[in-house]
């Protein structure tokens, strides 16, 4: 019998193993976009491209060809470095064109150009319909409504997070009322815990009036709970959103059970389509809530964003809920703007270092690292869909009764959207 | 793990206990050995899959190096000579992996595990070299093609909106754009076998399924590859025609 040489056998095995390993692609060396530092136009471009490439939560439905954008704009940003300096307008336009049309309606990109000492802000998503909401005019008209009572307002246009208005309006039945609440932002629980505000009693007065003293836990002894209140208006026009945790006291308290309004997911890898599974997104029933269902109207417009849209969607699915006004903005992802909190956990959503930008009021207001091409991308962490897995991103919640914003009527002292809500609740519904 | 090593022990015992009979030779009426060429067999066993993925800076998402699964299949072999055979067949093999998302949120430490169970069918085509008369030792190598039949995920995640952990146990829907369900690769290994009764042969082998195809389609330029390497231990019974 022929004797086998074991060393030859081992050498063969090693050679074959080397051949096999060579058949696999090498992993890429990707940098963490949350900590990356850039010193050129091109590095800044590449950091933002790469960060969005593997952390953006909406790649499953965004139609932008991101690889093609890289190929198209890479030579442009490289040429900026070759030239040394570049006109600010040209630089801004390149960024505008490069990011144009990304779907995430929360997305906001900040860029610092140290050569020109200019900070640029971009919103890549575009809506084909937009207007400003004249909240002051709408509040002024509300105050003049016939029969308005228990009117409580705190509105500081410089700090919308504190703002709200509550009142009673005559209802369908004589002696019965419609409870009205306008929320400036979803910041109920933040406000409740904030003991630094000098005029806190005045700020929280409308919330106490509508929900009750324990307003961060829902409706207790406020206007909405009164026996003579037969229906409710939640005015979300111009509401930019806020804390998702507020959905429970603010909207969940209008219901008698908790609710699941859809599903959410996040990224779980560097691949654009590496996602977690869908998990139910819902709101628990708060400590205090209505024990008997009442008709609820959500008043919305194109400037109802994020949490305001989730609230609208929840009210839309309530048996006695109705959405009146305009479609909402279409920014339905959930996010946390602090990159040291959620990005470091989920590796999705907002990334970049805001501290590298010039900070007015801090020191001499100049950047701590003046040579850095700083960047910050504000973007969704969680993708949220409805219960039938439909995304509202870029689409918004459609109203049940459509009433477009009418600036001319407002100027003439008439709020057509509020009128529609009141006439709906005062009709036989 | 206990199951894995128990199976390994069992297969060693099977190997040791095999009867000292020729593999594909049996006495004919004229007392010259008759060579049998075709063999059909069934195999079952366990495997451990190594899921190769580079998570780069996503260091809180940790993939376990190995995850156990099961193997079940059949083989058809043709042996033109006593020491060489060509084999094929089909194997249902699990290529599982496990990821633990471990992170600190304020003062609390979270662990959100996900176990992914993947069912593949692999079709190997391999050459087998055999030595020995009564008890045979085999070494084999070749290529395989495969298809990713199904995927199932179970584990825990954190539902931010409900502010609580969410348990899931669900079939994973394939994404036509992302998932490469066709698989190719190399297979090699070694085994031992022996005849027990008449034409019935029992054996055991260890083998690797080394996939050279990414489990993802090249749907983006900056895509980090993901590969499976399954190490299987299996025992089986064969019948020589």
Which one is predicted more confidently, A5 or A99? A99
Model confidence at A13, pLDDT cuts 50, 70, 90, reads low
Q: Could you say which residues from 267 to 286 on chain A have a Cβ atom under 8 Å away from some Cβ of chain B?
A: 268-273, 276-277, 279-284
Same domain? A118 vs A203: no
Q: Does A51 map to a domain?
A: yes
CB contact under 8 A, B224 and A67: no
CB contact under 8 A, A277 and B141: no
Model confidence at A57, pLDDT cuts 50, 70, 90, reads very high
Q: With 70 as the cut, is the pLDDT of residue A1 above it?
A: no
Instruction: List the CATH number of the domain containing A411.
Output: 3.90.226.10
User: What's the length of chain B?
Assistant: 241
B87-134 residue pLDDT tens: 999 999 999 999 998 888 778 888 889 999 999 999 999 999 999 988
Residue A38: per-residue pLDDT: 96
Do B240 and B217 meet the contact criterion of CB atoms below 8 Å apart?
Answer: no
Residue A18: per-residue pLDDT: 63
Structural domain span for residue A407: 135-333+386-426
Average pLDDT, rounded, for chain B: 86
A156-165 residue pLDDT tens: 877 767 799 9
**DSSP letter (8 states) at residue B219:** -
Burial B176-190 (b: 16+ CB within 10 A, else e): eebbebebebbbbbe
CA–CA dist A115, A101 (Å, integer): 27
Q: With 60 as the cut, is the pLDDT of residue B30 above it?
A: no
Q: What's the number of CA atoms in the CB half-sphere (13 Å) around residue A143? A: 10
Q: Which residues of B touch A (CB under 8 A)?
A: 52-58, 60-61, 99, 101, 103, 105, 114, 141, 153, 157, 159-163, 166, 168, 170, 172, 175, 177-178, 186, 188, 210, 212, 214, 216, 219-225, 227
A101 Ramachandran zone, left/alpha/beta (phi>0; psi -120 to 50):
left
Phi, psi of B185, deg, nearest 5: 175, -170
Q: With 90 as the cut, is the pLDDT of residue A206 above it?
A: yes
CB contact under 8 A, B61 and A25: no
Q: Does A69 map to a domain?
A: yes
CB atoms within 10 A of CB B26: 15
Tell whether A347 lies on the interface with B, counting CB pairs under 8 A: yes
Same domain? A346 vs A321: no
Same domain? A342 vs A249: no
Same domain? A243 vs A360: no
Q: Does A11 map to a domain?
A: no
Residue A16: per-residue pLDDT: 64
Q: Does A276 map to a domain?
A: yes
Beta bridge partners of B61: B101
> What's CA A259's distance to the chain center, in Å?
20
For B103, the closest of A271, A282, A345 (CB atoms) is A345
Model confidence at A64, pLDDT cuts 50, 70, 90, reads very high
Q: How confident is the model over A15-30, as a mean pLDDT?
A: 77
Same domain? A198 vs A238: yes
Name the one residue in this structure whose structure tokens are 């590969």: B227
Query: Is ipTM beyond 0.95?
Result: no
Q: How confident is the model over A297-309, as a mean pLDDT?
A: 97
SS3 B77: strand
Same domain? A249 vs A110: no
For A270, the closest of B58, B105, B172 (CB atoms) is B58
With a CB cutoff of 8 Å and minimum separation 6, the contacts of A147 are A169, A170
Q: How confident is the model over B18-44, as a mean pLDDT?
A: 61
Residue A10: per-residue pLDDT: 63
Same domain? A361 vs A320: no
Angle, vertex CA B135, rays to CA B134 and CA B136, nearest 5:
115
Same domain? A284 vs A341: no
State the SS3 of chain A.
CCCCCHHHHHHHHHHHHHHHHHCCCCCCCCCCCCCCCCCCHHHHHHHHHHHHHHHCCCCCCCCCCHHHHHHHHHHHHHHHHHHCCCCHHHHHHHHHHHHCCCCCCCCEEEEEECCCCEEEEECCCCCCCCCCCCHHHHHHHHHCCCCCEEEEEECCCCCHHHCEEEEEEECCCCCCEEEEEEECCECHHHHHHCCCCCCHHHHHHHHHHHCCCCHHHECCCCHHHCCCEEEEEEECCCCCCECHHHHHHHCHHHCCCCEEEEEEECECCCCCCCECCCEEEEECCCCECCCCCCCEEEEECCCCCCHHHHHHHHHHHCCCEEEEECCCCCCCCECCCCHHHHHHHHCCCCEECHHHCCCCCCCCCCCCCCCCCCEEEECCCEEEEECCCCECCCCCCCCCEECCCCHHHHHCCCCHHHHHHHHHHHCCC
Cβ-based contacts of B56 with chain A (< 8 Å):
27-32, 270
Q: With 80 as the cut, is the pLDDT of residue B25 above it?
A: no
Residue A277: per-residue pLDDT: 86
Q: Does A89 map to a domain?
A: yes
B227-237 residue pLDDT tens: 999 999 999 99
Q: With 90 as the cut, is the pLDDT of residue A119 above it?
A: yes
**DSSP letter (8 states) at residue B55:** -
Dihedral (CA of A186, A189, A191, A196) sign = negative
Residue A429: per-residue pLDDT: 66
Residue B21: per-residue pLDDT: 31
Q: With 60 as the cut, is the pLDDT of residue B7 above it?
A: no
CA–CA dist A175, B183 (Å, integer): 73
> What's CA A254's distance to the chain center, in Å?
23
- B2-240: CATH topology is Porin (2.40.160)
A327-373 residue pLDDT tens: 999 999 988 777 777 788 888 899 999 889 988 777 777 788 889 99
CA–CA dist A74, B146 (Å, integer): 39
B46-84 residue pLDDT tens: 999 999 998 898 888 888 767 899 999 999 999 999 899
Q: Could you give the number of structural domains in chain A?
A: 2
B153-205 residue pLDDT tens: 999 988 776 677 889 999 999 999 999 999 999 999 999 999 998 899 999 99
SS3 B6: helix
Same domain? A194 vs A269: yes
With a CB cutoff of 8 Å and minimum separation 6, the contacts of A174 are none
Q: How confident is the model over A377-399, as a mean pLDDT?
A: 95
A241-261 residue pLDDT tens: 999 889 999 999 999 998 889
A391-412 residue pLDDT tens: 999 999 999 999 999 999 999 9
Same domain? A291 vs A162: yes
For B175, the closest of A16, A273, A276 (CB atoms) is A273
């Amino acid at each position: 019998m022929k004797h086998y040489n074991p060393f030859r056998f081992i050498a063969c095995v090693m050679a074959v193993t080397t051949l096999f390993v060579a058949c696999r692609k090498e992993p890429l060396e990707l940098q963490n976009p949350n900590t990356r530092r850039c010193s050129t136009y091109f590095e800044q471009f590449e950091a933002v491209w790469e960060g969005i490439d593997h952390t953006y939560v909406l790649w499953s439905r965004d139609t932008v060809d991101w690889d093609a954008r890289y190929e198209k704009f890479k030579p442009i940003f490289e040429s900026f470095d070759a030239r040394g300096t570049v006109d600010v307008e040209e630089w801004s336009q390149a960024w505008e064109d490069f990011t144009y049309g990304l779907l995430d309606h929360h997305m906001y990109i900040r860029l610092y150009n140290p050569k020109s000492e200019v900070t640029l802000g971009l919103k890549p998503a575009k809506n084909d319909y937009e207007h400003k909401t004249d909240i002051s005019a709408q509040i002024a008209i509300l105050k003049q409504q016939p029969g308005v009572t228990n009117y409580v307002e705190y509105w500081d246009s410089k700090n919308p997070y504190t703002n709200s208005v509550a009142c009673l309006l005559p209802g369908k039945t004589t002696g019965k009322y419609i409870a009205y609440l306008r929320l400036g932002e979803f910041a109920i629980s933040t406000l409740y815990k904030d003991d630094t505000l000098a005029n806190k009693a005045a700020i929280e007065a409308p919330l106490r009036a509508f929900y009750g003293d324990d307003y961060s836990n829902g409706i207790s002894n406020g206007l909405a709970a009164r026996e003579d209140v037969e229906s409710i208006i939640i005015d979300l026009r111009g509401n930019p959103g806020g804390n998702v945790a507020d959905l429970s006291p603010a909207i969940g308290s209008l219901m008698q059970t908790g609710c699941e309004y859809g599903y959410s997911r996040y990224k779980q890898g560097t691949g654009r389509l590496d996602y977690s599974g869908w998990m139910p997104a819902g709101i628990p029933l708060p400590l205090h809530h209505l024990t008997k269902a009442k008709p609820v109207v959500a008043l919305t417009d194109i400037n109802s964003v994020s949490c305001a849209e989730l609230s609208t969607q929840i009210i839309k699915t309530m048996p006695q809920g109705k959405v009146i006004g305009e479609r909402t903005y279409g920014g339905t992802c959930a996010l946390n703007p602090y990159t040291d909190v959620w990005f470091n956990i989920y590796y999705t959503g907002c990334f970049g270092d805001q501290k590298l930008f010039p900070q007015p009021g801090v020191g001499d207001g100049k950047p701590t690292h003046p040579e850095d091409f700083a960047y910050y991308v504000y973007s969704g962490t969680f993708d949220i869909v409805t219960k039938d897995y439909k995304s509202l991103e870029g689409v918004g919640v459609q109203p049940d009764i459509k009433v477009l914003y009418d600036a001319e009527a407002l100027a003439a002292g008439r709020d057509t959207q509020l009128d529609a809500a009141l006439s709906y609740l005062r009709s036989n519904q | 793990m206990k199951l894995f090593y128990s199976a390994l022990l069992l297969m060693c015992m099977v190997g040791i206990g095999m009867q000292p009979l020729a593999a594909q030779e049996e006495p004919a009426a004229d007392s010259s050995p008759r060579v049998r060429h075709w063999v059909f067999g069934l195999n079952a066993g366990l495997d451990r899959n190594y899921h190769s993925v580079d998570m780069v800076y996503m260091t809180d998402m940790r993939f376990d190096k190995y995850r156990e699964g099961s193997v079940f299949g059949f083989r058809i072999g043709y042996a033109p000579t006593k020491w060489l055979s060509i084999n094929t067949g089909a194997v249902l093999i699990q290529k599982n992996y496990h990821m633990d998302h471990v992170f600190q949120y304020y003062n609390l430490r979270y662990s959100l595990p996900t176990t992914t169970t993947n069912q593949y069918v692999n079709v190997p085509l391999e050459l087998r070299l055999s030595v020995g008369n009564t008890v045979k030792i085999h070494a084999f190598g070749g290529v395989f093609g495969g298809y990713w039949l199904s995927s199932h995920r179970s584990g825990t995640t954190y539902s931010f909106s409900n502010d609580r952990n969410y348990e899931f146990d669900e079939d994973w829907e394939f994404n036509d754009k992302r998932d490469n369900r066709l698989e190719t690769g190399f297979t090699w290994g070694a085994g031992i076998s022996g005849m027990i009764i008449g034409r019935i042969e029992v054996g055991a082998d260890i083998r690797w399924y080394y996939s050279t195809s990414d489990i993802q389609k090249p749907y983006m330029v900056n895509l980090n590859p993901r590969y499976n390497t399954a190490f299987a231990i299996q025992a089986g019974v064969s019948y020589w025609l």
